[in-house]
Amino acid sequence: MKKRILGQGLEVSELGLGCMGLTFGYGTATDEKTGVELIRKAYDLGITFFDTAEAYSKGGNETLLGKAVKPFREKVVLATKFGFKNGDPTQGLDSSPKRIRQVVENSLQYLQTDYIDLLYQHRFDPNVPIEDVAGTIKDLINEGKVKHWGLSEAGFDTIRTAHSEQPITALQSEYSMFYREPEKEIIPLLEELGIGFVPFSPLGKGFLTGAIDENTKFKDNDFRNTVPRFSEENRKANQALVELVKQIAKQKQATPAQVALSWLLSQKPFIAPIPGTTKIHRLEENIGSTSVELISNDLQQIETALKEIEIVGDRYSGNYKNFVNK
C-alpha cells in the first residue's frame, strides 16, 4: 500500500484502520481473538496506521490494539486520544495537564509500548486554554513519550492557535460525501499550515456502503439509534446520495464503499482516512479502494451530482453537540 505524509513528517499507510467499533459504539464488542486477527490481517494487507482512544471502552480498545500489534510494534503508527473525564464521554471533558499525563501513562501501559506515535485531544475543552494543552504535549514530546500530536473535531481558531504553540501533525474530524463541512474552512487551513487530515467515519457510519436504508434495524446499543441523520425518515431522504455512489461504483466495477474511500483519497494528498470494520471481508473491500482510480472526469461528475443532493439530519444529538468546537 502507498504511504502518505501527515504534518510534521509522520509517514502512514494511505488508508488506516479505525479500531473503535471493535469494542465500542456499534453494539456487542468483538471477542478478543477475532479483534486481534482482524488487526493483524490489516497489517498483513499493508495498513500501518491504527486509531484508538482512551474513551473507547475505557482502555479496553487500546489493550486489544496493543496486544494485536505487539509482534510488529515498531513497524506501525499508533494513534490514541485524551480529553474526557475518567475516559468516559458521558462524564464531560477534561484536558487538564494532570489528566493528559495520566491518560498518556495509562495508554502506554494498555498499548504495551514506550511511546505514542500520534496523540490527539479528543475534543476541545473550553475550560483549559489550548496553549496549556499544547504546552503539556510539548513536554511529553521532549520526554519521548509522544512523537506527534493532533486535534479532533477542532475549530479554525483552535487549530491555528494550537499549531503556533506546538506544530500539529494531524487533525481528525468527520469527513465524507455524507458530511462535507470541513471543505469550507478547515481543509484550506490544514493545507496552509501543512497539517495532515485523518477523516473518521469516511463511509458515513456505514451509510455510504449501500447496506443501510430506511428499513434497516440497528442493535439496541448501536449509537446510530440516537443520531438524527439516521432516523428512518432521514435515511429515506438521504438515499439519493447512496444511489449516486452506487451508480459510480457500477461504472468503475467497484463497490460503493470503495468509491466513497477513493473519492476521499482523491481530495488531497495529505488525507488518510480510517474506516473501521469488524469483518475481514469488509477490511479487504476497503483496502481495495486504493486500487480504484477516479479520474478528473469522474470527480467532476460526482461533484456536479453532489451539489444537487441535500443531506438531511444533524450528525450528533444531545450532549455530543457540545463536544464539537466550531
Between the alpha carbon of residue 202 and those of residues 174, 197, 256, 271, the distances in Å are 7, 12, 12, 11
Closest CA to 24 of 315, 203, 221: 221
| Cα separation, 127 vs 150, whole angstroms | 19
In the chain, where does DSSP find H-type helix?
32-44, 60-69, 97-110, 130-142, 156-165, 186-193, 232-237, 239-252, 256-267, 280-287, 296-306
| Cα separation, 182 vs 191, whole angstroms | 12
| Cα separation, 141 vs 159, whole angstroms | 18
- Helix H or strand E encompassing 173: strand 170-174
Between the alpha carbon of residue 251 and those of residues 80, 247, 248, 298, 300, the distances in Å are 38, 7, 5, 10, 14
CB neighbours of residue 122 within 10 Å? 25
Query: Is 175 in the active site?
Result: no
Residue environment code for 195-224, b if the CB has 16+ CB neighbours within 10 A, otherwise e: bbbbbbbbbbbbbbbbebeeeeebeeebbb
- C-alpha cell of 250? 457500477
Q: Which residues pair with 3 in a beta bridge?
A: 13
Which residue in 26, 56, 110, 175 is the catalytic one? 56
**Active-site annotation, residues:** 56
